[in-house]
Amino acid sequence: MKLKVAIVGGGPAAFYVASRLLSRIPDAPGSPLLRVHLFDRLWAPHGLVRYGVAPDHPEVKNCTNKFDQVAADPRFRFFGNVNVGTRPPEGMEQTVQLPWSEIKRNYSHLVFATGCTMPALHSALAGSPWCLPALSFVHWYTQHPSAPPAPPLEAIPHVSLIGNGNVALDIARILLTSPAVLEKYDVPQPVLDVLARSAVQHVSIIARRGPLQAAFTAKELRELTNLPDAAMAPIPPALLAPPPGVTPTRQQSRILTLLAQGSRNPFGSTRKTWALEFFKSPTGLAPPAEGETLPELLLTHTALDEHGRAVPAGPAPPLRTALVVPALGFRAEPTTPFFDPALGHLRTAAGRVLGANGRPVKSVYAAGWAATGARGVLATTMMDAYGVADTVLADATAAEEGPIAMDADSGPHGRHSVLLNNAQKGVDVAEEFRMNPTPANDWAPELAGVIFDYEDWKRVDAEEVRLGLALGKERERMGWREADAFWRRPNPARPWASTQSTEAQFG
C-alpha cells in the first residue's frame, strides 16, 4: 500500500490529519509508503491558530510546536500561497492556482480541511454600511493576507456585537483593553496604532437567548469581567434566576455566578463600559435621523418557545450605535466541492465526503470544520482529524489503490499550469511522480519563487519573533508583502528559488 495524500487547508485539522497518518505508517527508506502534501492558499500555515486566535491568548498557540514536528518529517511537504480549485477571495490574487484536476491526477487520496471561512450574516443587517462581519474584524487585528481595512475606531464611540460566542467576547475584549496591555502580545503595530486612536467607550453584546444558553465560556467571561479599564453594566437579577424545575449544569452555574458578581470595577467607575443584552434580536439598522450622527439598531425582545428556540416577543427600545458587528458563526465556502447549503459545510459521514447521490466519494474525505461546521475547540478538532486519518488508512487497506473519483472539477486553471507534465519528463507517473516529494521536481520552475514551503515559513517565523523581542512583545507579524520581500533575500538552503517578485512572475 502506497499513499500520496493531498490535504487542502493548512489549519489545525490539516496538521492533525497529517500527524496521524505519518505516525501510523512507518517510514521505509528507499521505498516510501506515504507522502503527505498540504496545500494552503495562505502563505503562512496554521490557519485559525495564526489568524483566528485572539492575540492575548498565546497559550492556545502552543499546538504549533506539534505542527513543527509534523513538518520536520521528510514525508511531509507544505505548499503555501497555493489556492486549490476555486477562485481566491478578493485581496488574495497573489496566490498560485492549482486546479482540482491536478489533485485528481497526481494523488491517491484527498482530504478537505478547508474549515469554515465565510461569516454567517444576519438577514436583517445584510448590506448595511454600518455593519462589519466579525470575521473581517478578526482578520484585521490578526493581519490576515486578505488585508481587510481597519475599522474607523477613532469615529466610533459605541459598538454593538450580535451574538455572544467566544469570538464576540474576543472582539469586545480587544476593544476595551488598553493598547499598553495588548502591545506585549502578538498584535501588529498598525493595529495597535488604530486601537490607540479608538473612541470606543461602550460595547453592547446582544444575545437572542438567555444566560443559561450563553455561547461563551466561563473563562472568556471571567477575562472580560476582570478588565482593568472597563466595567460591566449590572444584569437584572430576575434574568439570572433559573426557571422552575431547571437545574443548571456546572458550566451554567459558573456563568450565572460570574454574571451575578459583575465586573471587578463597579459600573460607572471607568470610562469604558460593556453590557450583555439578553433576550434581544436585531430587526434592522436605520440610518441616522435628522440631526443625529449615529444609526439606530432596531431590536425586538425575544422569548424561548417549547423547543428552546428564540422567537419575537414584542419590540424593544432601539439602540443608537456607530458600528454593528454580527458574530454569528461561520460557514464553509459555497464554491467548495460537495458543499451542502442546508448544512453550511461539506456533505460527510464518518469523515467520508458524500456525493450528490448520498454515497461516499472514493478516496475523498473531510476533517475539522469543513466536515462538522464551526463548532468545538482544538481538542475536538484533533480527535475528529485523528478519526478521519484512521478512516483513510482503513479504506486504503481494504481497497485496491486507484485514482480519486471526485465528481467535481471546478475552478479556474489560473495563468500557469502549476504541475509539470511528467510524461514529458520521461518518468513513470504511477510511481516516481506520485511518490516524489521534492517541490523542485513537482512544481513548474517559474513558480518556485511564489510558493512558500515550511522552511520559508520558519525563516519568517524566526524573523517575526526577533522583531518582536526588539519591541518587547511576543512577535511582530509580517503581512504578505513584508514576508515576500524578506523571503526573497538570499538563502543558501533554497538555491532553486526565483528572485523575481510576485508581480514580475505574474506579469
- My answer on whether 173 and 100 are in the same domain is no
Question: Last residue of a domain, which of 328, 353, 381?
Answer: 328
- My answer on whether 104 and 184 are in the same domain is no
- My answer on whether 255 and 391 are in the same domain is no
Residue 408 forms part of a structural domain: yes
All three cell numbers of 325, joined, read: 458587528
Q: What is the pLDDT along the chain (507 residues), one digit of tens a residue?
A: 689 999 999 999 999 999 999 999 887 776 678 999 999 999 999 999 999 999 999 999 999 999 999 999 999 999 999 989 877 777 777 788 888 888 888 899 999 999 999 998 888 887 788 999 999 999 999 999 888 999 999 999 999 999 999 999 999 999 999 999 999 999 999 999 999 999 999 999 999 999 999 999 999 999 999 999 999 999 999 999 999 889 999 999 999 999 999 999 999 999 999 999 999 999 999 999 888 889 999 999 999 999 999 999 999 999 999 999 999 999 999 988 999 999 999 999 999 999 988 999 999 999 999 999 998 889 999 999 999 999 999 999 887 555 455 543 333 322 233 333 332 332 233 333 334 433 334 555 455 557 888 999 999 999 999 999 999 999 999 988 888 788 776 544 443 333 333 222 222
Residue 471 forms part of a structural domain: no
**CA dihedral of 108, 109, 110, 113, whole degrees rounded to 10:** -140
- My answer on whether 44 and 164 are in the same domain is no
- My answer on whether 292 and 189 are in the same domain is yes
**CA dihedral of 177, 179, 181, 187, whole degrees rounded to 10:** 100
Residue 493 forms part of a structural domain: no
- My answer on whether 246 and 168 are in the same domain is yes
Phi, psi (rounded to 5 degrees) for 69? -65, -40
Question: Last residue of a domain, which of 277, 298, 328?
Answer: 328
pLDDT score for 242: 92
- My answer on whether 162 and 111 are in the same domain is no
Residue 173 forms part of a structural domain: yes
pLDDT score for 439: 39
Residue 505 forms part of a structural domain: no
Q: Which residues of 15-53 are buried (b: 16+ CB within 10 A; e: fewer)?
A: bbbbbbbbeebeeeeeebebbbbbbbbbbbbbbbbbbbb
- My answer on whether 285 and 162 are in the same domain is yes
Could you give the angle at the alpha carbon of 251 between the alpha carbons of 226 and 241, nearest 5°? 85
CATH number at residue 134: 3.50.50.60
Residue 481 forms part of a structural domain: no
- My answer on whether 285 and 414 are in the same domain is no
- My answer on whether 207 and 275 are in the same domain is yes
Number of domains in the chain: 2
pLDDT score for 404: 56
Question: Last residue of a domain, which of 453, 482, 499?
Answer: 453
H-run or E-run covering 278: none
Determine the structural domain holding residue 245 and report its residue range. Answer: 121-328
Residue 473 forms part of a structural domain: no
- Give the long-range contacts of residues 298-304, CB within 8 A, separation 24 or more: 298/124, 299/206, 302/208, 302/209, 303/279, 304/209, 304/210, 304/213
- My answer on whether 293 and 384 are in the same domain is no
pLDDT score for 325: 97
CATH number at residue 351: 3.40.50.720
- My answer on whether 67 and 130 are in the same domain is no
Residue 46 forms part of a structural domain: yes
